[in-house]
Amino acid sequence: MRRVGISDLPLHGGRCPPWLFKRMKRLSGLISEVIIYEYGTDEFLRRIANPFFFQSFGCVLGFDWHSSGVTTTTLGALKESLDPEKHGIAILGGKGGTSRKTPDEIERMSQVFPLTENETEFLKYASRVSAKVDSSAVQDGYQLYHHNFLLSERGNFAVIQQGMNENNRYARRYHWLSEEIQSFVDEPHTAICCDHRGKTLNMVSVENEDSRKVSVDLVKDSLGEIRKYLMMGRHHWIEKRVFSKLLDLKEFQPRDYEEILAFHGVGPKTIRALALTSKLIYGTELSWKDPVKFSFARGGKDGTPYPVDRKTYDEGNEILREAIGNARLGSREKLHAIRRLESFI
């Protein structure tokens, strides 16, 4: 698993105006269709999993350039504009309770895309564990409330999910890409992007590799040591409820750290208890570095950097629609002309 990045955005209230969302749906679908037509579904996933591209994409659609809503609104527009059978891409999940329907949606998509039963089960696992990593293994103070799983007809996927920090009123966006799968828990980041940093227990960093190994050993062989420190009552991070979950893990006998993280009911407190206990008993040093590095058309819905020009927006949509229609009929001249525009920018 290669994790592509994280970006931070301030929480903004309000809703996307219907007149804008209607246009966002149309334009997002047209841009995506051009990318898929020219480069294929896997390239579309690579781009959407890149936080710089995603942020730029949201800005081109006319949403706030630095708002948390760019995530939910852009993905909402894509979910309504892309047809899995036509485009070979399905946008699953969403905000709040909709995110918890992702496994069922993946199951349904296995009837649309040529996915085997094993592939379908792995995709459901990937959806669940990517959320577990960003909510429990990376303890940065952001509570996940949004999870989208973008699936291609070839069985490749991207995950874009967002967490909220109620204290600083910021949201943090997490991007995942299924290419070059190695591990969900061993240095999966290739770019972490945001403006705000804090003290973070990042159990998927390379610096915490020893702690991950010791955590597995503690669960399998040394729960007696944890019980001793629990009974002493001086180590408040080990709650009795957490110890009960550790007993369940011992009975399960996880083979590696990923199996600990994926185990039902294991959350941030259990992960933290194992990490701190491994430091206490074995002296394994922990990394507390926030895994973050960043911060950025058609204007924005709140007038920043300027109001959306509806006439220009609609004209741009029509040009793209015509170019795609002509390309399907064998004339790619307009698509090539659009590509040549890049040399003038």
Give exposure, 121-132, as e/b (b: 16+ Cβ within 10 Å): ebbbebbebbbb
Q: Which pLDDT value is given to residue 71?
A: 85
The CA distance from 313 to 20, in Å, is 10
Question: Cβ(1)–Cβ(176) under 8 Å?
Answer: yes
132, 137, 143, 148 alpha-carbon torsion, rounded to 10°: -40
- pLDDT for 92-150, tens place per residue? 999 999 999 999 999 999 999 999 999 999 999 999 999 999 999 999 998 999 999 99
State residue 291 phi and psi, 5-degree precision. Answer: -80, 65
Q: Which pLDDT value is given to residue 172?
A: 85
Q: Position of tokens 């409330």?
A: 145
Report which listed range, 26-30, 87-91, 298-302, 339-343, is most confident.
87-91
- pLDDT for 174-216, tens place per residue? 889 998 668 899 866 555 556 577 889 999 988 999 999 999 9
Task: Determine if the pTM surpasses 0.75.
Answer: yes
- pLDDT for 247-283, tens place per residue? 899 999 999 999 999 999 999 999 998 998 888 888 8
Lowest mean pLDDT, pick from 15-19, 36-40, 278-282: 15-19
- Mean pLDDT in the chain? 80
Q: Which pLDDT value is given to residue 343?
A: 46
- Residue 293, judged by CB atoms within 10 A of its CB (0-12, 13-18, 19+), counts as middle
Strands 138-139 and 201-202: antiparallel
SS3 of residue 273 by DSSP: helix
Q: Which pLDDT value is given to residue 236?
A: 52
Q: In what order do the strands lie in the sheet with 170-177?
A: 2-10, 170-177, 157-165, 143-152, 89-95
Lowest mean pLDDT, pick from 37-51, 130-144, 303-317: 303-317
